[in-house]
A and B are shown apart, each in its own frame.
Chain A
Amino acid sequence: MSSRSSGWVNKARAVLVKDIRTELRTRYSLNALFMFAFTTLVVVSFSLGQASLGPSILAALYWIVIFFASMSALAGVFIKEEDTKTAQTLKLYARPSVIYTGKLIYNIILLLLLCLLVTPLFVILMRVDVPDLSLFIVVILLGAIGLAGATTLIGAIVSKANVRGALFAVLSFPILLPLLVAAIGGTQAALADDGWVGAANDIKLLIAYAVIMIAISVVLFDFVWNG
Chain B
Amino acid sequence: MIGVSLEVAGLRKEFGERKVINGLSFSISSPGSLGVTGHNGSGKSTLMKLLSRIEYATAGKITLKDGEHEISPENYIGYLKMVAPEMALYEMLTGYENLQFFARLVDVEWSRERADRVLERVGLAGRGDDMVGGYSSGMKQRLKYAVALLPEPKVLLLDEPTSNLDEQGKAIVRSIMAEQQRENILIVATNEAEDLESVQQVIRLGE
Inter-subunit contact A91/B54 (CB<8 Å): yes
Inter-subunit contact B82/A14 (CB<8 Å): no
B178 within 8 A of A: no
By a CB distance below 8 angstroms, the chain A residues around B84 are 88
Question: Which range holds the interface residue count of chain A?
Answer: 20 to 34
Interface of A is mostly: helix
B contacts with A, residue count (CB < 8 A): 27
Closest Cβ neighbor of A18 among chain B residues: B101
Most A CB within 10 A of own CB, among B53, B82, B101, B147: B101
The smallest C-beta distance from A79 to any residue of chain B, in angstroms, reads 14
Cα distance, A177 to B175, chains bound together (Å): 58
Inter-subunit contact A89/B88 (CB<8 Å): yes
Inter-subunit contact B87/A89 (CB<8 Å): yes
Closest Cβ neighbor of A3 among chain B residues: B107
Interface residues, chain B, CB within 8 Å of chain A?
A: 49, 52-54, 56, 74, 77, 80-82, 84, 86-93, 97, 101-102, 104-107, 147
By a CB distance below 8 angstroms, the chain B residues around A91 are 53-54
Cα distance, A21 to B90, chains bound together (Å): 11
The smallest C-beta distance from A186 to any residue of chain B, in angstroms, reads 38
Contacts A92-B77, A92-B81, A92-B82 given; indicate if A22 touches B105 (C-beta within 8 A): no
Interface residues, chain A, CB within 8 Å of chain B?
A: 7, 10-11, 14-15, 17-18, 21-22, 25-26, 84-86, 88-89, 91-95, 98, 226
Inter-subunit contact A86/B90 (CB<8 Å): yes
Most A CB within 10 A of own CB, among B81, B102, B104: B104
Inter-subunit contact A85/B93 (CB<8 Å): no
27 contacts between A and B (CB under 8 A): A11-B104, A14-B104, A18-B90, A21-B92, A22-B90, A25-B92, A84-B90, A84-B91, A85-B86, A85-B88, A86-B88, A88-B54, A88-B84, A88-B86, A88-B87, A89-B87, A89-B89, A89-B147, A91-B54, A92-B54, A92-B77, A92-B81, A94-B77, A95-B74, A95-B77, A226-B53, A226-B56
